[in-house]
Structure 1
Amino acid sequence: MAGKNISMAVIRRLPKYYRYLGDLLDNDVQRISSKELSEIIGFTASQIRQDLNNFGGFGQQGYGYNIEALHTEIGKILGLDRPYNAILIGAGNLGQAIANYSGFRKAGFEIKGLFDANPKIIGLKIREFEILDSDKIEDFVKENKIDIGILCVPKNGAQELADRLVACGIKGLWNFAPMDLNVPEDIIVENVNLTESLFTLSYLMKEDE
């Protein structure tokens, strides 16, 4: 796979494969054909084979896919065979909901600290975490080897916080702020814009009328 350009469309389908294969494992299913997988996941069998062939292909003619092996390999492709340490900045309603979600820890993403600038909530606890003052971010990142910064802050503070995290050496930002961040090329940003997603839903509902 080294040096091969994989389209973002393929990459964004991989987590769905991983999730569905995990569900099959939970139900003790051991193997599956691309046709059977297509009926479950909603992609065509041809699309599934093409996607997986980007990474070498994992099926056998007449046998299909070994689900446990394929799930493991897709996990490796997604980088889920290593742990990640994260901090969450912005402990309002959205930030608290994310901090309370146990699925991240199960997948190997460990939230190590919560931060906010609001003195009214600094010192409160969310799960086992005490909400810390945002002024302490730099020291905390250095002491805890943080990989990912999760931004759940308003638009007007997001860029400054992103700059601070980048300066600390963080290479990945999961951005819930409603703006595009300006960061160096070697910084990975995944934007989650809830309003844009809702607008897309609105459009599709309108077109379906």
Structure 2
Amino acid sequence: MNRDFSNVSMAVIRRLPKYHRYLKDLLEKEVYRISSRELSKLIGFTASQIRQDLNCFGGFGQQGYGYNVEELYQEIGKILGLNKTYTTVIIGAGNLGQAIANYPSFIKYGFKLMGLFDINPKLIGMKIRDIDILDLDYLEEYISKNKVEIGIICTPKEVAQEVAERLADSNVKGIWNFAPVDIKVPKEIIVENVHLSESLFILSYLLNEKENLQG
């Protein structure tokens, strides 16, 4: 049965991967039961915040018992869609594109990399993890033939919008954008922008603030 979580805030949704990661660590340590207070100490969220977040998706915990770690891990995985398989391609097979292609958890969590695309003749024909780097000219044909659902953009910002439009015209369902620019596509296509420099700037800010306080 499909569950409707459309009213859940994105702030809560963006905390779910962290819950999932910590629960996985607990299972690897053979911890199968945990309270919100104990989970709070591990994750850094308050116990109240944890209970509120998880209550958005139904009742997982039991008063006096806490949470079943295995059950909670599986349920959060389903909410995140990690029980499905998504066909993906990477556009831009340079250092970043190759790093993502080699990411060990990529296939583990259901993201099946089908192909990489580039315009550099020195890269075209190479293989990454036995996956061919293809000429970008064949992008639309390949997406249609292989029913690709997600396009991952690892190109320079100057061409990212054009690539995004080609992906949109090819009817992909989602785009994971690593180019340092916000792309514009029809609203029915889900876009997740990952701006690495912004995260680095936050680190720089925090370091600067700490130095100012100490000074």
Normalised TM-score (structure 2): 0.95
Rounded to whole Å, the distance in 2 between the matches of 1:40 and 1:115 is 41
Q: Report the equivalent of 2:137.
A: 135
Q: Give the match for residue 173 of structure 1.
A: 175
One-letter code of the match for 2:133? I
Question: Which residues in structure 2 correspond to 1:102-117 (within 5 Å)?
Answer: 102-117=104-119
% identical equivalent positions: 66
Cα distance between partner residues in 2 of 1:143 and 1:62: 54
Q: Which runs of 4+ in 1 moved over 4 A?
A: none
Question: Which residue, 84, 87, 111 being the options, matches 1:85?
Answer: 87
Query: Which residue of structure 2 lines up, in the alignment, with residue 95 of structure 1?
Result: 97
**Partner SS, residue 203 of structure 2:** helix
Counterparts of 1:139 and 1:183, CA distance in 2: 20
- Whole-angstrom distance in 2 between the partners of 1:31 and 1:5: 29
SS at match of 1:197: helix
3-state secondary structure, aligned to 1:114? strand
Is residue 152–residue 175 contact of structure 1 (8 Å, CA) maintained in 2? yes
Counterpart Cα distance in 1 of 2:70 and 2:181: 39
1:144 Cα deviation after fit: 1.1
Using the TM superposition, give the Cα deviation of residue 125 of structure 1 relative to its aligned residue in structure 2, in angstroms: 1.3
Give the corresponding residue for 2:204.
Answer: 202
> Counterpart in 1 of 2:31?
29
Answer yes or no: is the 8 Å Cα contact 2:5–2:57 preserved in 1: no
Any idea what the Cα deviations from partners look like across 1:70-105, whole Å, max 9, x if unmatched?
A: 011101111111111100010000111110111111
Alpha-carbon distance in 2 for matches of 1:47, 1:33: 13
Quote the offset at 1:124 in angstroms: 1.1
1:192 to 179, 191, 194: 194
Aligned length: 209
Amino acid at match of 1:187: I
| RMSD (CA atoms) | 1.0
1:87-145 deviation line (CA, Å, top 9, x unaligned): 00100001111101111111111111011011111011111012100011111111111
Structure 1 residue 4, shift from structure 2 partner: 4.6
> Which structure 2 segments of 5+ residues have no match?
none
Q: Which amino acid in 2 is paired with 1:75?
A: G
State the distance in 2 between where 1:71 and 1:22 align. Answer: 7
Residue in structure 2 matched with residue 15 of structure 1 by the alignment: 17
Distance 1:143 1:4, change over 3 A: closer
Deviations for 1:160-197, whole angstroms, at most 9, x for unmatched residues? 11101111110100000010101111111101111111
Q: How many angstroms does 1:3 deviate by?
A: 6.2
Q: Deviations over 1:39-89 (max 9, x none)?
A: 111111000000000111200000000011101110111111111110001
> For 2:164, what is the secondary structure of its paired residue?
helix
Distance (whole Å) between structure 2 residues aligned to residue 8 and residue 204 of structure 1: 24
Distance 1:190 1:4, change over 3 A: closer
Q: Which residue of 1 aligns with 2:4?
A: 2
Distance change in 2, residues 1:3/1:174 (3 Å): closer
Change (3 A) 1:3 1:93: closer
Structure 1's unaligned 5+ residue stretches are: none
